[in-house]
Structure 1
Amino acid sequence: MKILRLVAFLLVSFLVFGCKKAKDNTVDNVNDESLVAVQNAMIEPIKKALPIVIDELTTLIGIDKDKDHNIINYQYEVKNTSEHTLLLPSTLDTIRQTLFKAYCENNEEMQQLKTAFPDGANYHYFIDNKEIVVVELTPVDCHVK
């Protein structure tokens, strides 16, 4: 009799926890779909406006969402600059500081970006279609000094 009760208890437990997990997965799927919709709403207008000249050396040529994470990827083409110059520590520091300052700015636009892409932003710099530099930033970076 004890074995029968134990089996019945385990069966009921599996059913209860299985139903709860199925419900949680449904809620997660709805949340995921909502997040993807927000992400697409942010990315698509920018895609339509590409290419966007940032300054005399830099043009935004692409924008997309990372397939595996909630990260936004920006692709920039750098003109009139050698690979060596782009890789200089002073150049890399300037790029990183400029991106950090913009990404960590406390304004509505950046808050929306960080909410839509909670895993961060990656900035890819290309020269002649060759990726030279990637700068990765996350919301945590804004709280670390």
Structure 2
Amino acid sequence: MKSLKTVPAILISLVLCSCDNSKSNANQTSSDSSKNTELSRLQETIINEAKKMLPVKVDEKNNLIDITKENDLINYKYVINSSKDEVSIPETQKMTTESLKTLYCSNSAQVKQLRDAFPNGVSHNYYIHDEKLFSVQLTPASCTAN
């Protein structure tokens, strides 16, 4: 499952490059309610633009099939086109987590915008058929943890 290393780059490109309005006016408003409304609009714009491109074949065995949000958290759903016996879940989860954390914690302007747009983080969820194999959840605090 070494091909999962390409997933983060594709996701960031999908979500942010498709959305020209990646900076909101939320910081310019004085009301918390207005900030929340602007943040919610930004999140919806990002999600809706990304969904237009779904499903996305990440590589020969992995497809990104859905993107949703919940409580300022962006959720990615992937389907792995393999049997469960073909996947070393602990190894794949470890490799995927390291790769996603490296990208999520990078200083890229686009990644920073994603972190700002979804302050509760990101959840990458991997399935074979309808069975969830594992999830990788990252928050801004993940970037300060050792």
**Partner deviation per Cα, 1:68-94 (whole Å, 9 max, x = no partner):** x2100000011124167242x222111
Instruction: Normalising by structure 2, report the TM-score.
Output: 0.74
Q: Give the aligned partner of residue 20 of structure 1.
A: none
Runs of 5+ consecutive residues of structure 2 not aligned to the other structure: 1-29
Q: Give the aligned partner of residue 73 of structure 1.
A: 75
**CA distance in structure 2 between the partners assigned to 1:81 and 1:130 by the alignment:** 11
Identity level (%): 32
| 1:1-145 to 2 correspondences below 5 Å | 27-66=31-70, 69-82=71-84, 85-87=87-89, 89-145=90-146
Instruction: Normalising by structure 1, report the TM-score.
Output: 0.75
Higher relative contact order (CA 8 A, sep 6+): 2
Give the paired residue count: 117
Q: Cα offset for 1:101?
A: 1.4
Q: Which amino acid aligns with 1:74?
A: Y
Q: Which amino acid aligns with 1:40?
A: E
**CA distance in structure 2 between the partners assigned to 1:76 and 1:83 by the alignment:** 18
Q: Cα offset for 1:28?
A: 2.1
Higher helix share: 1
Structure of greater Rg: 1
Greater displacement, 44-53 / 75-84: 75-84
Q: Which amino acid aligns with 1:117?
A: F
Q: Cα offset for 1:118?
A: 0.7
Q: Which amino acid aligns with 1:62?
A: D
